[in-house]
Structure 1
Amino acid sequence: MNAAEKLRLLLARPGIIVMPGCHDALSAKLCEKAGFSTAFMSGFAVSADRLGLPDTGLITYAELLDQGRNICNAVSIPIWGDGDTGFGNALNIKRTVQGYAQAGFACIMLEDQIAPKRCGHTRGKSVVGRDEAAMRIQAAVDARNEGADILIMARTDARATHDLDEAILRANLFHEIGADINFLEAPESEQEMLRYCTEVPGYKVANLIESGKTPLLPHEQLEAMGYKIAVYPLTLLNASIVAMQNALHGLKTGQNTPKTLSFKELTEIVGFEDYYREEKRYRF
C-alpha cells in the first residue's frame, strides 16, 4: 500500500487518531519508533528547524517539499504535509498537490489565509474571500481526482478574522467540494469546538498547541465531540528546544551534566545496526 491507502485505512478504523508533529527525518523516525500510526510535518516546525525563522510564509514550496521527501523516505507510517496556501493560483495549487503526492505524503493541508500566511495561533492573520478559498480546495480536489493519490485536508482561519459562523460555513463548503478532511483552526472554547463538530460533517481535526488558543482536552472528550484526529504539531519541537537549552546551560556553567542517551542507544536510533546488517550482506 502507498501512503494515502494506509491513511484511508487508519481513518476508517474506530477511535480518534493521536498525531504528533515532526520537523525532520529523525523526529519522524522517533514518532514511528514510539508506536504512532501517523505523523504531521508542521510548517511552523520545519521553518524553525530548517531556517530558524518564524512561520510567516518565509519558507518556500521547494524547501517544504525537500524536507517532506526526506521525512517520508525515513518512515513507513503515513505523513501529513503542511502545504500552506498552495503557493499561488489554481495551477500552482495543483502542482503543489502533485508534488506532495510524488514526495510520498499521504495528505496535504491547504488553508485560506492570504499569502504570506502565518501560524494559526499568532496575531495578524487575514484570509482570502470565500470564492478564492473555494477555488483553492477545488483545484486541490481536481489534482487528486486527476491522479495525485493523496488526501486533501482543507483548513480555514476565518474564526480569527471573521467569526465562527463564517468559519463553519467555509468548512462545510470545503466538505461539499470534496475535501477528505476539514480543519477549523483555533476555536477558543469547548462550546465552539462542539458547535464545529456538530454542524460540519466528515473527518475533523483538533489542532492542539501548548498555551495556544484552543483548549487542550482529553482524547476521549475530543472523540466524544466528533473529532477524528488530534494533532500536536509543536510538542516535539518545543520539547527538543527545552532539552537543548538545558543541555547548553549545563555545558556552559559546568554545574550539571546534561542527561543524554548512551552512545549505543544513539547509534541504534539513527540506524547504525540496520546499516551494519546490510553491510554484512554484501561483504565478500
Structure 2
Amino acid sequence: MQKVCHHELRNAFRALLANPACYHTASVFDPLSARIAADLGFEVGILGGSVASLQVLAAPDIALITLSEFAEQATRIGRVACLPVIADADHGYGNALNAMRTVIELERAGVAALTLEDTLLPAQFGRKSYELISIEEGVGKLLAAQEVRDDKALAIIARTHAGVQPLADVVHRTRAYQDAGADGICLVGVKDFAHLEAITDELHVPLMLVTYGNPDLRDDTRLAELGVRIVVDGHAAYFAAIKATYDSLREQRGIAVGNGLTSSELVAQYTAPDDYIAWARKYMNVKE
C-alpha cells in the first residue's frame, strides 16, 4: 500500500496556485475515484459538499450533512489520494468556532485545501433560502480558520457567490477576504469575462472559479491571465455514476433502459427535494 504524504500534496497544490496556468478539477467522491483521477493525470481533485450529501444521505445540498460525516468521507479519500484534494467545507458547519473545528478535522483527513463560504447556512426561519453573512463574520471565520491550521501548507480559500450580490459588494467582500489572509478567493456565479474582470481588477491572490460549464467562461488562457488557477466545471463524474447505476439495475431487473431519466432527473426523483422545500415552508417559513 502506497503511503500518502499530505504535506507534500499540500505543497503541490500551492505550486498549482503559484503557476500561471489554469487547472480543472476532477470530481472525486471516494477512494477509487481519487485514484482514477490521479492515474488519468488530473492535477487536483475536489470533494463537493453537494456530492457528499448525495452519497452519504441521498439528500439535496441544503446543509443537512454534518462535519463528522463529511470528514469521514474526506478521510477515506485522503488515505489513498495521490493528487491534492480540495474539500468543499461549506460554511464551516457553523460559526467561527465551528469553522475552527472544521479545519482541524479536515486537515487531519488529509485534504490539501478547503473552501469556506459566506452563505448563511442552514436556511434561517422566515428568511430567503440564499443569503450571505456579513463581511465581518466572514472575515472572522477566515481568521479563526488560519489560527488553528497546524500545517501552514494547507490552503484556506474564501468562497463567495458573485451572482447574488451587486458588483460593488462583491468587490468589497473579496478585498476584505484577501486582506484577511485568504490563500485564494473562490467565486461562484460569475456571468462572463467582463464580470470577472470587474471583480478581480485589484485582487492579487490566486482565484478559483466554479463555472458549472458556463460557455461564456471557456477560455483557459484568458482565465489564467486574470489570475484563475483552479476551475470547477461541476461533478459530472458522480452524476454519470448515478445514471450508470440506474441503467444497470434496470437492465438487471429486465426493465427496458431506453433513454430513461437523465442524471439530474434521477437526483430529483431519489432525493425528494419537493418534500424538503415543503417542510422548509411549513416549519421554517423559509421564503424562496
Please, what TM-score do these two structures have when normalized by structure 1? 0.79
Overall identity of the aligned pairs, in %: 27
Name the SS for the 1:74 alignment partner: coil
Structure 2: tracts of 5 or more residues without a match: 1-6, 259-288
Which stretch shows the higher mean deviation, 108-117 or 174-183? 108-117
Out of 130, 147, 155, the residue aligned to residue 142 of structure 1 is 147
Question: 2:136 maps to which residue?
Answer: 131
* Structure 1 contact 205–228 (Cα < 8 Å) conserved: yes
Matched, 1:59 2:65: yes
- Structure 2 counterpart of 1:35, one-letter code: G
Matched, 1:208 2:211: yes
Q: How many angstroms apart in 1 are the aligned matches of 2:255 and 2:103?
A: 49
Q: How many angstroms apart in 2 are the aligned matches of 1:43 and 1:214?
A: 24
Deviation (angstroms), 1:248: 3.6
Question: 1:154 maps to which residue?
Answer: 158
Cα RMSD after superposing both structures = 2.5
Deviation (angstroms), 1:58: 0.4
Q: How many angstroms apart in 1 are the aligned matches of 2:112 and 2:120?
A: 25
Deviation (angstroms), 1:43: 0.5
Matched, 1:92 2:98: yes
- Structure 2 counterpart of 1:239, one-letter code: A
Question: 1:272 maps to which residue?
Answer: none
Matched, 1:30 2:36: yes
Return the structure number with greater relative CO, CA threshold 8 A, min gap 6.
2
Question: 2:50 maps to which residue?
Answer: 44
* Structure 1 contact 198–226 (Cα < 8 Å) conserved: no
* Structure 1 contact 167–184 (Cα < 8 Å) conserved: no
Question: 1:280 maps to which residue?
Answer: none
Give the paired residue count. 250
Structure 1: tracts of 5 or more residues without a match: 118-122, 258-284
Q: How many angstroms apart in 1 are the aligned matches of 2:187 and 2:167?
A: 9
Deviation (angstroms), 1:124: 3.0
Q: How many angstroms apart in 2 are the aligned matches of 1:48 and 1:5?
A: 30
- Structure 2 counterpart of 1:37, one-letter code: E
Please list the CA deviations of residues 110-161 of structure 1 after superposition, one character each: whole Å capped at 9, or x if unmatched: 01011216xxxxx9311111111111111112223x656411010112541x
Which stretch shows the higher mean deviation, 17-26 or 240-249? 240-249
Show the 5 A alignment for 1:1-284. Answer: 1-116=7-122, 124-144=129-149, 147=151, 149-157=153-161, 159-160=163-164, 162-210=165-213, 215-253=216-254
Please list the CA deviations of residues 227-254 of structure 1 after superposition, one character each: whole Å capped at 9, or x if unmatched: 1111233121222223333334444446
Q: Sort the Cα spacing of 1:147 and 1:8 in 2 relative to 1 into closer, same or farther, 3 A.
A: closer
- Structure 2 counterpart of 1:126, one-letter code: E
